[in-house]
Structures are given as C-alpha cells and as structure tokens.
Structure 1
Amino acid sequence: MSEAKTPRATRRTMLALGATAMLARSAAAQRSGGPVVVSSKIDTEGALLGNMILLALQNAGVPTEARLALGPTRIVRQALLAGEIDIYPEYTGNAAFFFRRPEDPAWRDSERAAALAAELDKAENNLVWLDRAKANNTWAIAVRRDVAQRLNLRTMSDLFAAAQRGEVKLAASAEFVESAAALPAFEKAYGGTFPRDNIVVLPGGDTAVTMRAAAQGISGVNAAMVYGTDGAIAALDLVVMRDDKAAQPVYEPAPVVRAEVLERHPAIRTALAPVFSSLDLETLQKLNARIAVEGQPAAAVARAHLVAIGALR
C-alpha cells in the first residue's frame, strides 16, 4: 500500500479503542488553557483537512499549536480522548466502531450517521462533531469514464446489471473481494453476485494500483475498487458509482473538538463551517490529487482552497 492509503485501510480493521483509551482519558490532566492543539491522521486527506483546520483557526484569531500527521486513527483518537490534542478531522462512519455499533443502519445514511456520531460522542466523551463535508470516503467502485458513458452507468445498481451482462471487469484486492464488509456487502444489497471470473485480484490493498489497472485497461479491466475521495479518481478519469442502496457506511469528514475547548473558543465553529461545507466529493478528489498525484505540499493546497472560497484573508 502507498502511504496515503494505509490509514484508510486500517481504519476499517484497527478501530476498536477499548478500555486503554478510556483509562488514558481519565488519567490525563485536561489542559485548561493554552493554544488549541490541531492534529490529523497520517494520510493525504488527513494532512489536507488538518491544514485547513489549522489555517482557518489561525485566520479567526484562535491561538493554535500544530500536531499534524500524528498517526493512524487509533493513535489520534486516543490522543483526543486523553486531552493531548484538541481537534482533528474524523469520519462519521468510524463512530460505528468507536461505540461498537457497526450493525446499526444509521451509519448507512448521511444525516443519521452524523447525528448519531455527535450524540454518542457528546454523551460519553464530551466531544463535539462540527459541520461535516458532504463527501463520502467509503469503499466504492469506480468505472472508466468512457465505459460509464457508453453503458450509461451511474449507480451500483447500473454496475451490477452490467456485470451480469459481462460488460464490467473489476480490479480489486483480496480483502475487498472476501471481506463481508466490502464486495459481499454490495452483493447482498444489490441482489446479485459479481462474476468472479471478471475480477482481477491484485496483491495488497492499494487503490492506486487498482485505479491504474482500470485506467490503462490492464487485462481488460475497466472498473476498480476505490475509496470515494481518492485523489487519483479524477486524475485517471474514473467515475465513482453511487451506492444507491446504501450498502456501505457513510464516511464523511468532520472536525471533532473537545467541548471545553469549543466553549473557550466559540469562533472555532464559525471558522470551520464554511470550510467543510465547501468540500463535496469532486472537490476533495481534486484537492487530494494535487497532493497525491501532482506532489504539491498539503499546506499549500489547503491554503489555496481557503483563499479560493474566501475563508482566508
């Protein structure tokens, strides 16, 4: 896996925080003052969103300290619970694992997932979920644009119908094909089996490899396992199929902040609301591509976007 994709895969397999995090939280002295410590996960999108939070808060006059790219989900979440950091971008669907409720159907609905994540974290941890971006970074399947246009493919329902006709060949990891949460979940929701002889299983779980196979038509592949906001989707001219039957949990990013910090600095909420409301799926794909594909620094991409939307003086 590439560095950018590893945390996305591990957040689906390493998110149980257990008693250790709660003990760390109760044992740690909560800071009563000082700068707001802004953190993020150690992946492309985490760096992008973390820098946006940092810049927006600085612009609003909120004193800050940066601890970006701190680690994977488990590490950053524990740091927030322990009061070692004050705010970071998290995904709504991860609350299903934080609170050990993965089967709750609320996680498959954008509005309900956001509301439930906020309710559970406020009640148990005194954490506040702020306004989220309407960009779902969950497991998905993307199709080469020319194929999607020729076959009129827009949704996963369309894709499964085309797969039954033998018109789609998918590049995916073994985990995606075999894990009950991935392709089998799609098959259950859409009432059909994706023909296994039309799946090319590639080693590892790097979506950069599966997307490249689809874009280049390697071994006849024209579709790929992806995460919804992968930067290379737009760069490789792929189209994400909409999960019209909600087979997958919704993973929309939002800042999560300690309530006492938000009370001390209410400008945090107003500073970040326009930032996250500006981030739809295509926008996040394009911004991630500037980092992952073009090699631009995450801080520079974040700053340029905030300037473009008028959120940074």
Structure 2
Amino acid sequence: MTLSRPARSRRARSALLATLIAAAAALAPSLAPGGERPLVVASKSDTEGALTGAMIALCLEDLGVPVTRRLGLGPTLIVRAALLSGEVDVYPEYTGNGAFFTGTETDPAWRDPQAAFERIRRADAARGLAWLARAPANNTWLIAVQGALARRDGLASMADFAAAVARGAIRLAASTEFVESPAALPAFEAAYGFHLPVERIVSLPGGDTAVTARAAAQGIGGVNAGMVYGTDGAIAALDLVVMSDPKAAQIVYEVAPVFRAEALARRPEIAERLARVFAGLDAATLRRLNGRISVDGELPETVAVDHLRRSGLIGSAAR
C-alpha cells in the first residue's frame, strides 16, 4: 500500500520520537536495587579531573550512594552545561573558572582564594548549584625553571625570575595563549616589573604543559623555563622548580566538587565526607598523585582508591 504524505509524516514522526525516547533511556541512569536513582558523577577529560572525579564517586559509593560514572566527559563548557541541564549531578571544577562563567575576569577577587570561592559559590547558588569545600592547591598558570638553574641562582619566586630575565638568563617555552593573554605572562610582567623579549620566548600553538615542561627540563632549543600548571604531575620527575607568585598575579584555581543542590539535598552527609577528602589535596599531594597517572601510567581510579584507603577516607571494601 502506498502511504499518503500525511501518513508518511506521521510514521516518520513516530519513528523519530521512538528513537529519541530510546536514546534518553540509554543516557538516564536506571534505579539502583534499593529504588534510589544513582548520582551521575562526571569529570573533564584531563588527568586531575579524572582523579578527583574518581575520588568523588568512590566516596559516594562508600556512603552507600549509588553512582553512575561519566568521567572524562569533555572540556569545561561541555561538563558545565551537563551539570546545569541536570544530565550530571556533580563534577570537580576550579574556582577560577567562575571568572569566565560570570564574565568578570578582571575582578581582583579571583586572585584571592577565599574571595574567589565565595564569589562563585554565591553566583552558582542562584543557578541551583552547590560548591563544597575546596582543595588548598592552586592549579593556576605558573612558570617553572630547570632545577639546576634554580639551585645555582637561588630562583624560588617570580621576583627571582624577574631578576634572571633582566640578566638575560631565561628562555621560556609557553603556549601562544599564555604569551598573549593579559591574564597570563603579561600579568606576571606587570606585577613583577620585567619584560621578556619575544626572541627569548618559544611560543607554541597548543596549551600542553607536558611539552613546555619537558622542553625546559631538557633544554630543548636553549629553553630553561616553561609554562606549567600548579599541580602538574611531571614537575618533580623532570626536576623543575616552580616559581611562587607572592603578588597573586594569577587567577586562583582551586578544585572543588560542584553539585546540583537538589541532588545534594537527598544525601547531606556527602558534604562532610568530601570536605575531608579535598582538604587533604594540597599542591604537593596532587602533584604526586597526578604524577602516578601521567608519569607512571597508573589508572586514575587505581590512584584514587589507594590514596583514599591510605588516608582512611574509604573502607577497604571499596573497589
């Protein structure tokens, strides 16, 4: 039988609707045996995101909360949108990204740890999101120099780095964004009163700190300093010394679990447990744990389980 155009349209709409329903069912977490809907734990697709996301998931499971993992979901904007839409319930985010979520990048509040946290906590509360206690580790843009150079010349801070630049002793590897963004190298230059000539910079199109750190460590092309993030796992393995930023030239990026408030309200005991976990994640700890993943090749979940067990934050029966 030949279908009329309206009938074909109805058939097509019905098929499309069935497809969409099936897709939604596949994405939606099914009910746990006890009838409780699992909390969907996501993370970004970077090493530290997978590590801290796994910690969140493991702690929830240790509390008896059913969990669906969506670790490594994607970049910031993808994971943030999924949280706001209710597709996921929690993921680890950095306080400093609040500057971009709110369009207030130039506000000096983002360079103060407590002020940055309070600023994004209040802004996101109006969106139905709850920020829990943050880690005391700043994963912001920083500069690291070869360990031998740092020890020889006594380089420990950006003030020391500025003096080394003035002596012509520095050749920096960094991403183009780091070199050009007003919030990155220019902010360091303004705060510490130096100017790194363009001929002393190897500017790379990507933002991979593994490349810039390795160039600095190995002296590739005469480079002896590199752009890094504060909790990069390869810093110690490469014998690099991170220059401290006492004048707070950079936006603060401290990681914290961010929940949909409605999901968190179902299990208020979660906040206290995760506060204990994140309180122990200082810069040295995160560098060590990230290094086990990025340098030693361990899986993020394996590293997370081991750390939480050794810290007495989950039971020995956890996966």
With normalisation by structure 1, the TM-score equals: 0.86
Partner amino acid for 2:269? A
* Shift of residue 140, structure 1, vs aligned partner: 0.8
CA contact (8 A) 1:40 1:88 kept: yes
Q: Distance in 2 between matches of 1:127 and 1:175?
A: 30
**Counterpart code for 2:245:** D
Distance 2:82 2:200 in 1: 44
Q: Specify the alignment match of 1:111 in structure 2.
A: 114
Does structure 1 conserve the Cα–Cα contact (< 8 Å) formed by 2:41 and 2:88? yes
- Select 1:142's aligned residue among 138, 141, 144: 144
CA distance in 2, matches of 1:67, 1:126: 21
Contact 2:165 2:194 in 1 (8 A): no
2:47 to 44, 48, 52: 44
The correspondence for 2:76, drawn from 67, 73, 80, is 73
**1:63 is the counterpart of 2:71:** no
* Separation in structure 1 between the aligned mates of residue 46 and residue 206 of structure 2, nearest angstrom: 17
Aligned partner (choices 86, 90, 94) of residue 91 of structure 1: 94
Extract unaligned runs of 5+ from structure 1. 1-30
Q: Which moved more, 1:301-310 or 1:168-177?
A: 168-177
Distance 1:173 1:126 in 2: 35
Q: Give the corresponding residue for 1:247.
A: 249
Task: State how far apart, in whole Å, the 1-side matches of 2:100 and 2:292 are.
Answer: 31
- Equivalent residue of 1:233, what SS? coil
Q: Conserved in 2, the CA contact under 8 Å of 1:131 and 1:273? A: yes
Alignment partners' CA distance in 2, 1:254 and 1:100 = 20
Q: What is the distance in 1 between the residues matched to 2:231 and 2:169?
A: 25
Spell out structure 1 runs of 4+ moving beyond 4 A: none
Matched ranges for 1:249-268 at <5 A: 249-268=251-270
**How far 1:166 moved relative to its partner?**
1.6
Question: Which residue of the partner structure matches residue 214 of structure 2?
Answer: 212
Residue matched to 1:12 = none
Pairing partner for 2:309 from 307, 310, 313: 307
Aligned partner (choices 152, 156, 159) of residue 157 of structure 1: 159
Q: 1-side partners of 2:242 and 2:194: how far apart?
A: 19
CA distance in structure 2 between the partners assigned to 1:207 and 1:219 by the alignment? 16
Residue of structure 2 equivalent to 1:35: 38
Query: CA-to-partner distance for each residue in 1:25-68, whole Å, 9 max, x for gaps?
Result: xxxxxx99612111111111111010000001111222222111
The Cα of 1:215 is off from its aligned counterpart by 0.8
Q: Distance in 2 between matches of 1:56 and 1:83?
A: 21
**What CA distance in whole angstroms lies between the structure 2 residues aligned with 1:196 and 1:228?**
24
Residues 170 and 199, structure 1, Cα contact 8 Å, conserved in 2: yes
Taking the aligned partners of 1:186 and 1:51, their CA distance within structure 2 comes to 34
CA contact (8 A) 2:173 2:212 kept: yes
Superposed displacement of residue 203, structure 1: 4.4
How large is the RMSD of aligned CA atoms in angstroms? 1.6
- Cα separation, 2, equivalents of 1:280 and 1:217: 29
List runs of 5+ in structure 2 lacking aligned partners.
Answer: 1-30
Match of 1:173 in 2: 175
Report the AA paired with residue 264 of structure 2. L
Matched length: 282
> Is the CA contact (8 Å cut-off) linking 1:160 and 1:192 kept in structure 2?
yes
Tell me what 1:25 maps to: none
Cα contact 1:88–1:257 (8 A) shared by 2: yes
Question: Hey, what's the Cα distance between the residues in 2 that align with 1:205 and 1:47?
Answer: 19
SS in 1 for 2:155: coil
| Deviates most, 199-208 or 72-81 | 199-208
In structure 1, give the amino acid aligned to 2:237: A
Residue identity opposite 1:119 in structure 2: R
User: Is contact 1:162-1:168 (8 Å) kept?
Assistant: yes
How much does 1:285 deviate? 1.1
User: Higher Cα Rg: structure 1 or 2?
Assistant: 2
